[in-house]
Amino acid sequence: MQVFPEKSTNPEACLQLLLFADQRPSSKEQIGEIRQFLEKLNCEEAYELQVIDVSQQPYLAEYFKLVATPALVKIFPEPRHTLAGSDLVAQLEHWWPRWQRALEECCCLDQKSLPKASKSPQIANSVTSVAYVAELIKLSDEVFRLKQEKEQLLQQLSFKDRIIEILAHDLRSPLTAASLALETLLASTQNSRQEKESPQVTQAFKERLVQQARNQIRTINRMITDILQTATGPSSKLLIQPSQLDLAHFCQEILGEFSVQLQGKSLQLKTDIPNDIPLVYADPERIRQVIVNLLDNALKYTPKGGTLQVSILHRTTQKIQVSICDSGPGIPEENRDRIFQDRFRLERDESHDGYGIGLSLCQRIIRAHYGQIWVDSSLNQGSCFHFTLPVFHY
């Protein structure tokens, strides 16, 4: 605040004015015109003028609910009066006599109601109280911001605790399976070297053990990748590196990696993947995450002897649609939109491995490709997850 000299020997009984301005040349010109007007007044007409730069005192402008500058605010005597516009001097000249009469009436009332030795707190502290209120507004905003930061930190701490639970629980199964496969393979190799009398392990069985270990390690890697990417927060931007991608061949390769899991549950796989599907413009690693996540879910919820179906449709000239369907229990209608929320899980899944971030991550990836992802489902009749990707144009 910049305070101009008072024009009275009795500063406790004067008009108190606040002039809000910015650094524009037009504002500076109006400040000069207002100062000239006030200097021409009779010295007995007391006033106190404070010029406030709104860039340095934004909370004062907020307190007075100003929508434009420059603006002149009379804060004493009450009631408060605000002048704004390009003709501030003309408005001030019009209102000055009325303000003077209001000041005289206020002083007369104070003289009658207070002892001579007393000073009116309203007169003495009006400007100071405005500054206090503005500071309180600033502090309240700061408190609100700190509360928000506290809530975010608590959520992050809670999520990290949950991640520790996930790593302790969900990683144990694939680690154990991979370890058993490798130990069995190692034991068979040692037996063959020592030429012990033991049943010979076939080459096909060895390859199956290696494949099982590889699948479990991929599962672990996928879980860790999903957790790390989701830990950055749903509001963070997901970086992708798109290129032309043969989606038909790409899906067939991924399905081949799931052959052991499909055989383990005696699942029937049906595919409808035309060879003449156009190339898409997508990040291969990100789309692999989406397809693998959806296939994992389909495998998890499809009962033994059930059916999985994967299809690709040239939906429009701009979009390719991928659909992954299962014959599982389906999803309740009230939860079909919520399953894509971060860390949302159905009640029936609380006893299953998983951490409720897979579908949320899939949605972020597809949206980063300017596509859509959704689910069609009926109770006890399975679920179909669909997503779209942009066609690659040369």
Q: Which residues of 143-179 are buried (b: 16+ CB within 10 A; e: fewer)?
A: eeeeeeeeeeeeeeeebeeebeebeeebeeebeebbe
Q: Which pLDDT value is given to residue 291?
A: 93
pLDDT in tens, 80-96: 888 988 888 899 889 98
pTM of the predicted model as reported, rounded to 2 decimal places: 0.50
Confidence of residue 121 (pLDDT cuts 50, 70, 90): very low
What mean pLDDT value characterizes the chain?
A: 78
**pLDDT over 70 percentage in the chain:** 76
pLDDT in tens, 324-345: 999 998 888 877 777 887 654 4
pLDDT in tens, 237-273: 677 889 999 999 999 999 988 888 888 889 999 999 9
Average pLDDT of the residues in 317-325: 94
Residue closest to 321 by CA, chosen among 270, 391, 265, 260: 391
391 CA to centre of own chain: 29
Whether residue 124 has pLDDT greater than 50:
no
Of 230 and 309, the one with more pLDDT: 309
Average pLDDT of the residues in 71-78: 86
Q: Which whole-number Å values give the CA distances from 56 to 21, 254, 329, in the listed order? A: 10, 60, 62
Q: Which pLDDT value is given to residue 3?
A: 41
Question: Which amino acid is it at 12?
Answer: E
28 CA to centre of own chain: 42
The first and second tokens of residue 344, run together, are: 């949302």
Confidence of residue 391 (pLDDT cuts 50, 70, 90): very high
Q: Which pLDDT value is given to residue 346?
A: 44
Whether residue 296 has pLDDT greater than 80:
yes
Whether residue 115 has pLDDT greater than 70:
no
